[in-house]
Amino acid sequence: MKPDFEKMELIPAIIQDYITKQVLMLAYVNEESYEYMLKNGQTCFYSRSRGELWHKGATSGNYQNIKSMFLDCDNDTLLILVEQIGNGACHTGNYTCFFNEIVSNDEIKENNGNILQEIYKQIQDRSINPKENSYTNYLLDQGIDKICKKIGEEATETVIAAKNPSKDELIGEISDLIYHTLVLMFKSNVTLQDIQNKLVERHKKQGNKKKQNIKGEY
């Protein structure tokens, strides 16, 4: 089974993060780029503006490793689930090309939005566009040592809260710890995708069910 390139020389391909299922981009594929993907295991498209094949990441380094590929019922659209490497799929630097919101639904956002990603983006924005009296800017200006000190303090407060009967207090301390960790990640050029990839890698190491106390495995 393969796309019907006799019906359509170019077929659309929807690219989706294989873990989060977030739609990253839409591109077009011809028969040559399709065969390239099957052979090399990375996304490759046909650029309509340049009139040539486009190996995603060849210039930017933001490669997409193909995890699975699906064909629709009419054999003229691809759904490709990928591991996104690098900063993101969009040439603007955003993780996904679909970041321009037209219709807003706060309820959907609240239930399904990735708040960690939103906070990380805000930290990134504070770095580019400093805001007066911003605590995030204060931490970024103070540097790694100050951020690490705050993480140590928040970790200690989290442990203390865990010993107390108040669930709300523990939730608050864990939230503070996560925020400061995100600031450290940004300052150290570590992305949420980097952490996600590492967690997936370690999760896969649980081949046998016997628990092992080995660093790097869960």
Look at residue 212 in the predicted model and tell me its pLDDT. Answer: 52
Lowest-confidence region among 12-26, 98-112, 125-139, 193-207:
98-112
Q: Do 190 and 141 fall within a single domain? A: yes
* Mean pLDDT of the region 93-97: 87
Single out the residue of 42, 180, 179, 159 nearest to residue 115, CA to CA.
179
Percentage of the chain surpassing pLDDT 90? 67
Range of the domain at 59: 11-84
Model confidence band, residue 99 (pLDDT cutoffs 50, 70, 90): confident
Look at residue 105 in the predicted model and tell me its pLDDT. Answer: 64
With a cut of 80, say whether residue 214 has pLDDT above it.
no
Model confidence band, residue 106 (pLDDT cutoffs 50, 70, 90): low
- Using alpha carbons only, what angle is made at residue 3 by residues 2 and 7, rounded to the nearest 5 degrees? 135
pLDDT in tens, 10-51: 999 999 998 878 899 999 999 999 999 999 999 999 999 999
Single out the residue in 84, 119, 138 at which a domain terminates.
Answer: 84
Tell me whether residue 103 is in a domain: no
Question: What's the rounded Cα separation, in Å, for the pair 127 and 62?
Answer: 22
Single out the residue in 47, 68, 84 at which a domain terminates.
Answer: 84
* Mean pLDDT of the region 62-76: 95
* Mean pLDDT of the region 58-80: 94
With a cut of 80, say whether residue 75 has pLDDT above it.
yes
For position 74, which CATH number holds? 3.10.20.810
pLDDT in tens, 187-212: 999 998 889 888 888 877 765 444 45
Look at residue 112 in the predicted model and tell me its pLDDT. Answer: 52
Tell me whether residue 92 is in a domain: no
Distance in Å from the first CA to the final CA of the chain: 39
Q: How many domains does the structure of the chain reveal?
A: 2
Single out the residue of 73, 86, 60, 66 nearest to residue 15, CA to CA.
66
* Mean pLDDT of the region 81-98: 88
Tell me whether residue 217 is in a domain: no
Look at residue 4 in the predicted model and tell me its pLDDT. Answer: 92
For residues 43 and 54, the answer to whether their CB atoms sit within 8 Å is no
Q: Do 79 and 150 fall within a single domain? A: no
Q: Do 146 and 182 fall within a single domain? A: yes
